[in-house]
Every structure is written in structure tokens, then in C-alpha cells.
């Protein structure tokens, strides 16, 4: 019994009377089969017929008469139980247990295979979901990159528009400044021309007054004639005195005063201009005009402006400036 339990660990405990019950059930099934076979065979047998003349009314044979029921068969007594029946029952039970165990193993294998299939399907589903998530992330990242590129392009476009607007505004401001400069230059030129015209008119007026005074003085002195000095020319400038006596070094003083104010970039050969100057005793320039032209009006204007810029004139050794004198100017060459 111990060896049998080791071979079949899942075998339930043996029940008493099981073999006898199985043997009785088999016997009953065999008897029942025999009874059924004989009953069907007896009903299918044809009884022997007899001939007779009947002068009476023939009965209606369309409805057959019911057959008498078969006699009950007494069941056979059960055969005595033997050791072979027990062995057969044990073998049958063992086969049934083995069949159950194989069915359980098959069910376990089926469940295991189903679990493996479910796990594989879950893995495939997880991989598919991971692939979908990766694709979504990639698409979202690509979309973000495109949006960033569009934002950068839009920002660059706005910056370009701002730069164009600033450039246009700068150009407009430059044009306005240039227009203002041109207007200022034009106004300065007109003002200078007006000032020059006024200076020329004033110089002509002062010269006429000076000539009138000189003529009056000459008339009162009996027609005497004043002395006039010759112009000195050193480094493009010269000075002389006329009407009033000056010290020997006064011409050099006038030269040092007038020379730095000469601005000229044209021709230098053959140009010489004499400017008549009238001053107050303190050296304040009262008038300056062209006494003798060089033939070049531009150089004459430059020489006259140099004398006008030299106001006030230097004082002589006696602390006073001559009232009138001539200055001879030549361009540095």
C-alpha cells in the first residue's frame, strides 16, 4: 500500500464496496440488454395461421387487437464476487485516475500556454504602445521645432522690418538734416552776401566821407599834399602808412596781425591787392576797402576779409593807432 501511494500521490482513499457495486451494475446492464433483445424478437415473430369458414359477419380487422403484455422475466441472481473483479475494478479506477491526472496536466499546460500567450500579447501591446508613444513624442518634438523655426523666422522678419524702418527713418532724418544744412548754408550765403553788400556800402560811405575830409583838410592847408608810404611785402603781406607818421616797426606789427588771417588756396603768381584802412586811436577798425585791385576778385575778397578779421589793429609806439594807412597784400607763394 505504501508503494502504491508513492506512485499515485493524487489518488483518493479507497472506499469499501466500490467493486461490488460496479459488478452488480454490470450484471444488471447485461440482464437488461438480454431482456430487451428477447422482448423485441418475440414481438416481431409471426404466429402460425389456421383456415376456417365462417358464415357469420366478418369482424372489422382494420383495428388490430392489442397483444398481451410479455411475461416478466425474473432477474438472474448475481454471481459471486471474485478476486478478478476487484483487480479489474482497481485497474479501471487507476485508468480513470490517470485519465483525470492527464486531463489536469493538459488543463495546466493549456492554462500555462494561455498565460504565456497572454503575457506575449501584453508584451506586444506594451511594445506597440511604447512605439505609439515614441511616435507621438517625435511628432510633438518635430511640431515644437517647426513652431520654434516659425517663431524665429517671424522674429527675424520683425527685426528686419524694424531695421528697415529705422534705416528709412535715419535716411529721412539725414535728408532733413541735409535740407536744414543746405537751407542754413543758403541763409548763411545770403547773410554773408547781405553783410558784404552792407560792408561795401558802409566802406564806400566811409571812403567818401574820408575823401571829403581829406579834401577839406587839403583846402584848409592851401592845397598841400599828404605823404604816402609804399607797401611792404614780407611772406605774402605788406603794410605801409599814409596820412600819419608811423614808427619803422609798425608795418611789421600790422604784417604779423594780418598774415594768419589770410585764407587762400588758389593761384599765387601776379596777385597784389592794396587795402585802405581807417582806424580809431584805440586800433578799432573803422573801415577797410580795396584801394587797388589785383584783377582777381576772389583774391581781393580774401585779402579784404583778412584785414577785417584783424580788428583791432596794433598800436604804435606812442600808444595810438594811425588814423589811416594802406596795406599791400600778396598771397604766399
Does residue 78 or residue 289 have the better pLDDT? 289
* Domain count along the chain: 2
Strand-pairing partners, residue 273, are 329
pLDDT of residue 124: 93
pLDDT of residue 229: 32
Domain boundary among 200, 225, 250: 225
Query: Do 237 and 321 share a domain, yes or no?
Result: yes
> Is residue 111 domain-resident?
no
Query: Do 286 and 319 share a domain, yes or no?
Result: yes
Query: Do 217 and 292 share a domain, yes or no?
Result: no
| Section 137-164 average pLDDT | 92
Query: Do 181 and 233 share a domain, yes or no?
Result: no
> Is residue 295 domain-resident?
yes
**For residue 202, what are the contacts with CB-CB under 8 A and spacing of at least 6?**
287
Lowest mean pLDDT among 2-6, 42-46, 178-182: 2-6
Lowest mean pLDDT among 39-48, 78-87, 238-247: 238-247
Lowest mean pLDDT among 16-20, 87-91, 315-319: 16-20
Domain boundary among 225, 254, 280: 225
Lowest mean pLDDT among 46-50, 184-188, 214-218: 214-218
Q: How many helices (H) and strands (E) does the chain have?
A: 5, 3
* SS3 at position 34: helix
Query: Do 309 and 233 share a domain, yes or no?
Result: yes
Query: Do 237 and 148 share a domain, yes or no?
Result: no
Q: Provide the percentage of residues in the chain whose pLDDT is more than 90.
A: 25
Query: Do 252 and 195 share a domain, yes or no?
Result: no
> Is residue 107 domain-resident?
no
| Section 152-157 average pLDDT | 91
| Section 53-78 average pLDDT | 58
Strand-pairing partners, residue 276, are 289, 326
Lowest mean pLDDT among 39-43, 49-53, 147-151: 49-53
CA 220/CA 217 separation, integer angstroms: 5
Query: Do 242 and 216 share a domain, yes or no?
Result: no
> Which range marks the domain in which residue 192 is found?
143-225
Q: How is residue 270 annotated by DSSP? A: T
Asked if residue 262 has pLDDT above 60, the reply is yes
Looking at residue 311, which CATH number applies to its domain? 3.30.1150.10
> Is residue 255 domain-resident?
yes
Query: Do 219 and 233 share a domain, yes or no?
Result: no
| Section 228-240 average pLDDT | 36
Q: C-alpha cell of 166?
A: 529705422
> Is residue 46 domain-resident?
no
Query: Do 210 and 159 share a domain, yes or no?
Result: yes
Q: C-alpha cell of 305?
A: 576779409
Domain boundary among 163, 195, 225: 225
Query: Do 242 and 325 share a domain, yes or no?
Result: yes
Query: Do 204 and 239 share a domain, yes or no?
Result: no
> Is residue 22 domain-resident?
no
Amino acid at each position: 500500500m505504501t508503494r502504491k501511494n508513492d506512485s499515485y500521490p493524487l489518488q483518493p482513499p479507497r472506499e469499501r464496496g466500490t467493486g461490488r457495486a460496479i459488478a452488480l451494475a454490470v450484471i444488471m446492464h447485461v440482464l437488461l440488454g438480454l431482456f430487451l433483445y428477447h422482448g423485441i424478437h418475440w414481438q416481431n415473430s409471426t404466429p402460425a395461421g389456421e383456415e376456417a369458414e365462417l358464415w357469420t359477419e366478418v369482424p372489422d380487422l382494420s383495428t388490430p387487437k392489442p397483444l398481451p403484455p410479455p411475461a416478466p422475466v425474473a432477474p438472474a441472481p448475481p454471481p459471486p464476487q471474485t478476486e478478478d473483479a476487484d483487480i479489474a475494478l482497481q485497474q479501471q479506477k487507476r485508468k480513470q485516475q490517470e485519465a483525470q491526472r492527464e486531463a489536469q496536466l493538459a488543463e495546466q499546460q493549456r492554462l500555462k500556454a494561455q498565460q504565456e500567450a497572454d503575457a506575449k500579447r501584453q508584451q506586444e501591446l506594451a511594445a506597440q504602445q511604447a512605439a505609439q508613444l515614441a511616435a507621438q513624442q517625435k511628432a510633438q518634438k518635430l511640431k515644437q521645432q517647426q513652431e520654434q523655426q516659425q517663431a524665429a523666422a517671424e522674429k527675424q522678419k520683425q527685426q528686419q522690418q524694424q531695421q528697415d524702418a529705422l534705416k528709412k527713418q535715419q535716411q529721412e532724418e539725414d535728408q532733413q538734416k541735409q535740407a536744414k544744412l543746405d537751407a542754413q548754408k543758403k541763409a548763411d550765403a545770403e547773410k554773408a552776401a547781405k553783410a558784404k553788400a552792407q560792408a561795401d556800402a558802409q566802406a564806400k560811405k566811409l571812403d567818401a566821407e574820408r575823401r571829403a575830409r581829406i579834401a577839406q583838410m587839403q583846402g584848409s592847408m592851401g592845397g598841400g599834399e599828404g605823404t604816402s608810404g609804399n607797401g611792404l611785402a614780407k611772406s605774402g603781406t605788406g603794410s605801409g602808412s599814409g596820412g600819419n607818421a608811423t614808427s619803422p616797426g609798425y608795418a611789421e606789427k600790422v604784417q604779423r596781425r594780418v598774415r594768419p588771417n589770410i585764407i587762400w588756396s588758389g593761384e599765387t603768381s601776379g596777385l597784389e591787392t592794396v587795402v585802405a584802412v581807417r582806424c580809431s586811436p584805440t586800433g578799432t577798425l573803422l573801415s577797410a576797402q580795396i584801394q587797388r585791385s589785383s584783377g582777381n576778385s576772389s583774391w581781393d575778397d580774401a585779402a579784404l576779409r583778412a584785414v577785417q578779421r584783424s580788428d583791432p589793429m596794433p598800436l604804435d609806439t606812442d600808444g595810438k593807432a594811425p588814423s589811416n594807412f594802406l596795406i599791400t597784400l600778396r598771397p604766399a607763394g
